Amino acid sequence: MKRVIIADDSATARMFIKRCLEIVGLSDAEFIEAANGKEALEALKAAPADLLVSDLNMPVMDGETLLKWVQASPKLNGIPVIVVTSAGNPAKEAQLKALGARAVLNKPIAPPALMQALEPILNSWGGSDD
């Protein structure tokens, strides 16, 4: 079973992201919800995840800082990270991808856009781990 962490300060947004992930094929995943980047990082340290979907703008620790922590950690830097944002800023999107985000999606997330972002990740899961 895949373990997916969803970090967003909005409970409604977390529910919507989870539903979209279920629609695009992760209906049997274990979903862990975090209200900010700090909670997500604590969850990752407790047990690494197969996917992290993080909002960009959150209190306590934002998505960009969370992404930097994940990428800097030898134990966590293999986890694919998708960042969601309502900013719609191409320069910020490029910066997040340069930091290691696999995709940057605009809110509200549309299942087709999420599926396109997830396709390479899902394909990598389909192969063997050795």
Reported as a single tens digit per residue, the pLDDT across 2-12 is 999 999 999 99
How far CA 24 is from CA of 53, 68, 102, 110, in Å, comes to 14, 27, 17, 10
pTM above 0.95, yes or no: no
Counting the structural domains of the chain, the total is 1
Query: Could you tell me the CATH number of the domain that includes residue 31?
Result: 3.40.50.2300
Q: Does 125 have pLDDT greater than 90?
A: no
Q: Does 44 have pLDDT greater than 90?
A: yes
Reported as a single tens digit per residue, the pLDDT across 52-104 is 999 999 999 999 999 999 999 999 999 999 999 987 788 999 999 999 999 99
DSSP characters over the chain: --EEEEE-S-HHHHHHHHHHHIIIIITTSEEEEESSHHHHHHHHHHS--SEEEEESS-SSS-HHHHHHHHHH-TTTTTS-EEEEESS--HHHHHHHHHHT-SEEEESSPPHHHHHHHHHHHHHHHHS---
The boundaries of the domain holding residue 115 are 3-126
